[in-house]
Structure 1
Amino acid sequence: MKKIITVITTTATFALPLLAVAQTSVSNLSQAGQFVIGIINGVLVPVLFAVAFIVFIWGAFQAFILGANDDTAKSKGKNLMLYGLIGFFVMVSVWGLVNILTGSVGLNNSGVNVPTSGVNIGG
């Protein structure tokens, strides 16, 4: 029963934004594709970068604070840090390759889109 409630809650959480975009009119396949790309670039990519960052920070915490006297905890923490760095490298590499491919084919004439955090520092 607990698993069913978890599945229903997760599905409802992911389906909730669909109510907000229910009033937008997607009249053709091109607009639908732009909408999906916008969701991926606006939601999925920042969440994946945040997860990789959290994994890296948790690994550092585990390796240097919790694992100060325990070699197995230190090893697990270092592995998590490595996995976080690998995640960053893979995401940035794929992002760069996609930009190179779209630029070489001529699909993107606006230049390179650098991902931002959305936080303005210093006004």
Structure 2
Amino acid sequence: MKYLSKVGFGVAMAVTPLTAFAVSNLQGLIDLLKGLLQGIGGLIIGLAFVAFFWGLAKFIMNADDETARSEGKRFMIWGIIALFVIISIMAILGVLNNTFFGSGVNLQGTTDYGGFDWGGTGGSVPVPPLPSGDMRSI
């Protein structure tokens, strides 16, 4: 009985945040999934780049060893395949997003970095003004 009460207390403590941050409507579920995909997507893209460059380094550093070169080639090929698949999935999700939600939902997060709007949700990149006056004096 003592063990059961400890396990029950542990499960209750583990489930409490789930009920406190529970999704109450469809938009909450979309926001939750969007946050998860943003974090996981960046990690997977980073791992694919690391795999490609790891294979490239093995290929270059072991130019005399044929087995190490073939292993490097394999890493590079799988890195490129992973990047292609990830970009394809992002494109498909973008099409589905625009189809079902219009352009109001941005699955890739904000494009506002450092106060500059780099496109994405409208707006433009700031352009410095042209100098006024006589250009020969410059």
TM-score range, shorter chain: 0.5 to 0.7
CA distance in 1, matches of 2:81, 2:90: 14
The residue that corresponds to 1:99 in the other structure is 94
**Structure 2 regions of 5+ residues with no counterpart?**
1-13, 115-138
> Please, what TM-score do these two structures have when normalized by structure 1?
0.64
The residue that corresponds to 1:73 in the other structure is 68
Give the number of the structure whose residues are more often helix, by fraction.
Answer: 1
CA distance in 2, matches of 1:113, 1:33: 9
> Please, what TM-score do these two structures have when normalized by structure 2?
0.58
The residue that corresponds to 1:57 in the other structure is 53
Task: Please list every run of at least 4 consecutive aligned residues from structure 1 whose deviation after the TM superposition is greater than 3 angstroms.
Answer: 24-27, 110-116
Identity over aligned pairs, percent: 22
For residue 90 of structure 1, what is the amino acid of its counterpart? V
Q: Deviations over 1:42-82 (max 9, x none)?
A: x10010011101100110011111x2100111011011001
1:89 to 84, 93, 108: 84
Q: Does 1:40 align with 2:34?
A: no
Q: Deviations over 1:8-34 (max 9, x none)?
A: xxxxxxxxxx9xx77x74450421441
Higher relative contact order (CA 8 A, sep 6+): 1
- Alpha-carbon RMSD: 3.1
* Residues 102 and 33 of structure 1, relative CA distance in 2, 3 Å threshold: closer
State the shift of 1:115 in Å.
7.2
For residue 44 of structure 2, what is the amino acid of its counterpart? L
The residue that corresponds to 1:109 in the other structure is 103
8 Å contact from structure 2 (residues 97, 105) kept in 1: no
Max Rg structure = 2
8 Å contact from structure 2 (residues 59, 72) kept in 1: yes
